[in-house]
Amino acid sequence: MKNSQTNPPANLQTNLKEKRMDRGLSQAELAEIVGVRRETIIRLEQGKYNPSLKLAYDLARYFQLPIESLFWYE
Considering the domain boundaries, does residue 3 fall inside one?
A: no
Spatial distance between the Cα atoms of 31 and 39, rounded to a whole number of angstroms: 8
Question: Which residues are paired to 14 by β-bridges?
Answer: 71
CATH code of the domain covering residue 34: 1.10.260.40
pLDDT at site 19: 98
Which range of residues forms the domain containing residue 57? 12-69
Q: What is the pLDDT of residue 11?
A: 79
| Confidence at residue 52, expressed as pLDDT on a 0 to 100 scale | 95
18, containing H or E segment: helix 16-22
Q: Domain for residue 33, yes or no? A: yes
Total domains, the chain: 1
The answer to whether 49 and 38 have CB atoms below 8 angstroms apart is: no
| Residues of the chain below pLDDT 50 | 1, 9
Q: What pLDDT score does 7 carry?
A: 59
The pTM assigned to this predicted structure is 0.82
How many helices and strands, by DSSP H and E, does the chain display? 5, 2
Report how far residue 20's alpha carbon sits from residue 6's, in angstroms, rounded to the nearest whole number: 22
**What pLDDT score was predicted for residue 40?**
97
